[in-house]
Amino acid sequence: MKAASPFVANKMETRYVDNDEDNYSDASSSLAPNGSVVSTVPDRHGFLGGTQYLNESKHMISANKTIERERKWLNMTANWDKQMSRSFKKVQNRCRKGIPQSIRPRAWLYLTKANKLLDQKKNLYFKLCDQPGDRKWIEDIRKDLHRQFPYHEMFVDQDGTGQKELFNVLKAYTILNPVIGYCQAQAPIAAFLLMHMPAEQAFWCFVAICDDYLSDYYSPGMETLIRDGNILFALLKEREPKIYKLLKKQSIDPIMYMTEWFLCAFTRTLPWPTLLRFWDIFLFDGVKTFFKMGLIMIKISLPEKSYSDLKKRFPTMCETLEALRNPPLHMLEEERIIKKLILLEIPEDTFKYYHMQQTSLRRKTKETKKIRETDVF
């Protein structure tokens, strides 16, 4: 299904997703020490500056279309289990079109099944917040609070509500799941969720994402992440053999460029409007969306059509990694990238095959290591 095109302003009634465009006339701006533009008035997503700041909304939609989509989503969430069992494809298509901003918190809660956790464990979050927590995790969390979206109005103040709620969500998770504890890459995900919903709801969404969607991603050793990096590399060999050959020749392992993409669920990578649409799809389709976006990011970052051109433009590991870690932002524009994401189909059988292949290789590697250790002793 193709992503909807922006409506032409002079042909029909239009509005921004957030109807606060009049505020922009009062805005002024200055430069932060790092050269970023900082505004006195936040953009429609709450950013005062940084790479995520939008001077104006580019994605305009019909007021009637917005109201119609809101009504459909409210009806769906009112009968969610029935809709998911009987109209699975319809829900998927509506996620791909983009969830209305006003409905997104409720929709994400249902998509992750965090609404059920919320009902089953009422007030547990607040009890966890009241506990002191492990000192080691507490210190690590406090060090990272100021690094999460520092130009967003919610987190700009060190003593503000945003950073306090972020601390509570991350601390509560370490108490709920002490085996995993805290991983630095979890912080931007928790902060991202807090921008969209109250702390208790954000916490249970966070739990669902860490324990279900990204199960074992944050475990010591990160074996699951390494496995998925190898699956991404196998998919790259199948889909983009020239790029695969370049990375292979330069000994660039997937873990060197995809770690932040996958561990942070692309919250540190995609422009904000694109990120929101990506998450609408990710929360429905699951982690396979990461592989699709990963392939798109690699192709966008290394765009040459022939292997010889790739070698000329990216002669060493240094240039190649720089390109992979800094994809061109104009190529990540919402409509362009979401259309690519939807059109890119990877059969479920392909995922299963590569998953089994990597699991088997991992098992053989462990067995070989054990034999060698036995021989030594």
Per-residue pLDDT tens digits for 198-237: 999 999 999 999 999 999 999 888 899 999 999 999 999 9
| pLDDT confidence of residue 182 | 97
Per-residue pLDDT tens digits for 236-284: 999 999 999 999 999 999 999 999 999 999 999 999 999 999 999 999 9
Q: What are the distances in angstroms from CA 11 to CA 6, 7, 58, 185, 203?
A: 12, 8, 17, 45, 43
* 15 pLDDT more than 70: no
pLDDT grade for 60, boundaries at 50, 70 and 90: low
* 8 pLDDT more than 60: no
Query: Is the distance from CB of 207 to CB of 233 less than 8 angstroms?
Result: no
Distance in angstroms (rounded) separating the CA atoms of residues 263 and 46: 24
Query: What's the pTM?
Result: 0.85
Q: Quote the Cα angle for 39-43-46, to 5°.
A: 100
Kindly provide the b/e burial profile for residues 170-179, where b requires at least 16 CB atoms within 10 angstroms of the residue's own CB: bbbbbbbeee
- Calculate the average pLDDT of the chain: 87
* 375 pLDDT more than 80: no
pLDDT grade for 108, boundaries at 50, 70 and 90: very high
| pLDDT confidence of residue 38 | 53
pLDDT grade for 56, boundaries at 50, 70 and 90: low
Q: What are the distances in angstroms from CA 183 to CA 80, 145, 157, 265?
A: 32, 13, 23, 13
Beta-bridge mates of residue 61: 15
* 10 pLDDT more than 60: no
pLDDT grade for 374, boundaries at 50, 70 and 90: low
Higher pLDDT, 7 or 168: 168
Per-residue pLDDT tens digits for 132-165: 999 999 999 999 999 999 988 999 988 899 999 9
Q: Which of 320, 189, 205 lies closest to 265, judged by CA? A: 189
Q: Which of 241, 239, 217, 223 lies closest to 358, judged by CA? A: 223
